[in-house]
Amino acid sequence: MSCTIEKALADAKALVERLRDHDDAAESLIEQTTALNKRVEAMKQYQEEIQELNEVARHRPRSTLVMGIQQENRQIRELQQENKELRTSLEEHQSALELIMSKYREQMFRLLMASKKDDPGIIMKLKEQHSKIDMVHRNNSEGFFLDASRHILEAPQHGLERRHLEANQNVH
């Protein structure tokens, strides 16, 4: 009889183990089913939203949509054309400004050279400044040369103005 009780206990233990394995498998299946159910619900909600959007789009005539797109395209083309024209105008203005500044520097250099004929040190300094201006002009074709040339030209220009005032005062 002890054999049968031991055997019954062993069978019971085996059955408990099998029940635990089945319980774990059932739990896993429940988790998978819940995850699938959530995915199905999300897909249904997505489908409903798509249908609502399609319904809204259907209420607007296709011709209205096409006309709206054509108008936007026309506006984009006009803006692109205006952008090209503005770029061209900017390049022309920049070129003209560079030419004007070049002529201005040449005139200032000539004027300064004429007023400083006697002093070789000043002549060398003016030539150095003129070469700096040319270097800045060549290196900065985008308009940044204006500040540097203005800075370089201001000092001699103030001196020239002072000399003109002194000369005018001496004349009177």
- Residue 114 belongs to a domain: no
Decide: pTM greater than 0.85: no
- Residue 37 belongs to a domain: yes
Confidence of residue 102 (pLDDT cuts 50, 70, 90): confident
Q: How many domains does the chain have?
A: 1
Report DSSP letters for 58-107, one per residue.
HHS-HHHHHHHHHHHHHHHHHHHHHHHHHHHHHHHHHHHHHHHHHHHHHH
Q: Report, as an integer, the average pLDDT of 91-113.
A: 87
- Residue 170 belongs to a domain: no
- Residue 33 belongs to a domain: yes
Range of the domain at 19: 9-59
pLDDT of 130-147, one tens digit each?
Answer: 777 777 666 655 554 444
Name the most confidently modeled range: 3-17, 44-58, 101-115, 140-154.
3-17
- Residue 46 belongs to a domain: yes
Query: Which amino acid, 140?
Result: N
- Residue 15 belongs to a domain: yes
